[in-house]
Structure 1
C-alpha cells in the first residue's frame, strides 16, 4: 500500500468513526482531519469533496458489515442464515449511526443523497450471501421455492425491519431476538416448505452463541 493509499484509508476510517459516534452532522473536513491526526489538506487532496468522502464511508460501512457476516458454510444452510442474521443485527446494534446512513434511514445532512445505483454493488455482497444459502437449502430440498433471490429479499425485509424497530426502541433488545426475530425466521423457513421442528432446530443452532441471545 502506498503512502497515499494508507492516508486515504486512515481518513475513511476516521470519518466512519465520526459517523458512528455522532451521525453525519459530525462529518466535516476539520473533524475528520482531527480524528485522523492530520491537517485538512489531505481530506480534499484524497477525495476532492466531502460528498466523495461520504460515499467512501458508506462503502467502509458495508465492508465492516461484510466482516461481521463472513462465515464458513456448514452442512445446514438455514442455520447459516440464522448466524448471518445475528452478525447483521450485531452490526446494526454496534454501529447504529453508520448503519442508518448506509441504508438511507439517517439524513445525509447538507451532502446530497448518494444515488441508489452507487450503493447497489456494496449492498449486493450481503444480499448474495443470503441468496447463496437459500439456494443451498433449495438444492437440499428443505425449501420448495425456486427463487432464492426472492427469499433473500423477504429475509432482508424481516431483519432490516427488526433492526430498525429495535434501534428506535420499539422492540426491547433483551428478549426481542428470542420473542420476535427468531420466530419470524422459523415462519419464513416453514412457509417456504421446511419442516417446522427442523426449522426451529436450525435457527436455534445458528443463534446459540450469537448476538441474538
Structure 2
C-alpha cells in the first residue's frame, strides 16, 4: 500500500500564502525557509520537498499570484456586450486583489527583490490578463471601442490597478463608498473608449 502523501497541495498553498504575507507585511528580510516552515506548522524539509529552495519558492509564489488573478478574470461570464464585460473584468480584478491582498505586491510591487521571472513564469503572468485583451479586441472589431487595443488595455489596466493599489494601501478617503466609486470610475473609463 502506498504511503500517504504528507506534502500535499493544501500544504503547498498554505506555504505560498504565508510566504506572501511575510513578504507583503514585513519585507523580504522576514522570509526565511525556517520561519516559513514554523509559521505554517511544518518542517523545512517539507518546504524543500515542495519547492526545492527559496528561488523556486519565489517563482511559485509569483506564478500562484497570477494564477489566482487569472481565475477571477476567467470566471467573468461574457454578456455579449464588450463594454459591460470590460466593467465586469474590472470588478473581478478588485475582487481578486481584496481576496489575496498579500499577493498583490508579489505581482506588481517590489516584494520579491532580485526576482526576475523566467520566460515560462512571465508567459503565465501575461496569460492571466488575456481576458482583458480578448474583450477589448472584440470591442475594437465590432466597432464599440475606438482606440487601438494595446493603448486601451494599458489605460484600462492603469485605472483598475491605480484604484485597487490606493485601496489596499489605505490611501482612499475613509468616508468614500469605495465599491460605488470604483464601479462608477470603471463605467466612466469605458464610456471614454466607447463609440456609443
Q: TM-score, normalised by structure 2?
A: 0.79
Contact 1:20–1:98 (Cα < 8 Å) also in 2: yes
Which residue of structure 1 lines up, in the alignment, with residue 150 of structure 2? 149
CA deviation string 1:34-65 (max 9, x = no partner): 45554221322443321211110111111111
C-alpha separation in 1, matches of 2:121 and 2:71? 18
Task: Give the number of aligned pairs.
Answer: 189
CA-CA distance at 1:120 after TM superposition: 2.5
Contact 2:87–2:187 (Cα < 8 Å) also in 1: no
Equivalences for residues 54-133 of structure 1 within 5 A: 54-69=58-73, 70-103=75-108, 105-108=109-112, 112-115=114-117, 117=119, 119-133=121-135
Distance 1:183 1:38, change over 3 A: closer
Q: For structure 1, which runs of at least 5 residues remain unmatched after alignment?
A: 196-213
Contact 2:18–2:40 (Cα < 8 Å) also in 1: no
Contact 1:14–1:32 (Cα < 8 Å) also in 2: no
Distance 1:157 1:51, change over 3 A: same
Which residue of structure 1 lines up, in the alignment, with residue 32 of structure 2? 28
Q: TM-score, normalised by structure 1?
A: 0.73
CA-CA distance at 1:191 after TM superposition: 2.6
Secondary structure of the 1:7 match is: coil
CA deviation string 1:73-93 (max 9, x = no partner): 111122112111112112212
CA-CA distance at 1:182 after TM superposition: 3.1
CA deviation string 1:119-157 (max 9, x = no partner): 521321232100111122223321122x22331121111
